[in-house]
Amino acid sequence: MGPAVSLASFSFHGELGNFLARERRNMRFAHECARAATLKQAIEAVGVPHTEVGRIAVNGAPATLSRIVREGDDIEVYPHEPGAAPFEAPLVFLADAHLGGLARMLRMLGFDTLYDHALHDADIVKQADAERRVVLTRDRELLKCREILRGCYVHALKPEAQLREVARRYAIADNVRAFTLCLHCNLPLAPADPQAVAERVPERIRAHYSQFMHCPGCDRIYWEGSHWERMRSVLSAALDVPVSRMS
């Protein structure tokens, strides 16, 4: 019978070091892997979710997460290149309970983003798989689930910085359709006849705005007031591109 473990050396590059114990960051280190462990299992055992891995080289040759770790392997693991993280078109998200602000910003940009603070991890896994959604979370253990094929660990704590992370990883600026989704229901907004919504809009608003949008789900009315202007500025700064007005 062969040895119970395989001793391999690992190097994690870039932001992947943030998942490691401090003494293992920015260095090559030896790690004992269970016999017949895959690279996915070995990489996650030291703390890095498989969704965060962009490229792997073993003994200088490209490798996949399914490769078995062998004694003496020299393994280098790299993060996703900017804009290169995998997804299936259209780009749709599922944000966990701690990312409500990020979910709202993504909806402002026109990205279908499911958010329900009552969803449990099992529900997130099931729905993300069924609807091919990218899971956004600060729970690294959730991203280790093999059923989650597309996911993103969000490092930042503030929504604006979180959006910058997601924008850098998925190059979302090319697919923005700002102010086309309801911020509450995540449903597409429809143009509303100013006369039809007149009784529901304050007189001072009617005096300054003639374009309104309506959500068929929650029945909310939207218009491009000062709040929209502030959010356009925030979103434009996060994406580093201008965000257009309501369509």
Spell out where 14-133 has E strands: 29-34, 53-58, 61-63, 74-79, 93-95, 113-115
pLDDT in tens, 71-98: 999 999 999 999 889 888 899 999 999 9
pLDDT in tens, 180-238: 999 999 999 999 988 888 888 888 888 888 889 999 999 999 888 777 778 888 888 88
For residue 239, the model assigns a pLDDT of 79
pLDDT in tens, 91-126: 999 999 999 999 999 999 999 999 998 999 999 999
Report the CATH fold assignment for 83-178: Rossmann fold (3.40.50)
For residue 55, the model assigns a pLDDT of 97
CA distance 7 to 5: 7
Residue 68, Ramachandran bin (φ over 0: left; ψ between -120 and 50: alpha; else beta): beta
Least confident range from 18-22, 127-131, 174-178, 236-240: namely 236-240
User: Tokens 């949008």 belong to which residue?
Assistant: 213
Q: Is 222 helix (H, G, I), strand (E, B) or coil?
A: strand
Instruction: Give me the residue spans of the domains in the chain.
Output: 5-79, 83-178
Residue range 5-79 forms a domain whose CATH class is alpha beta
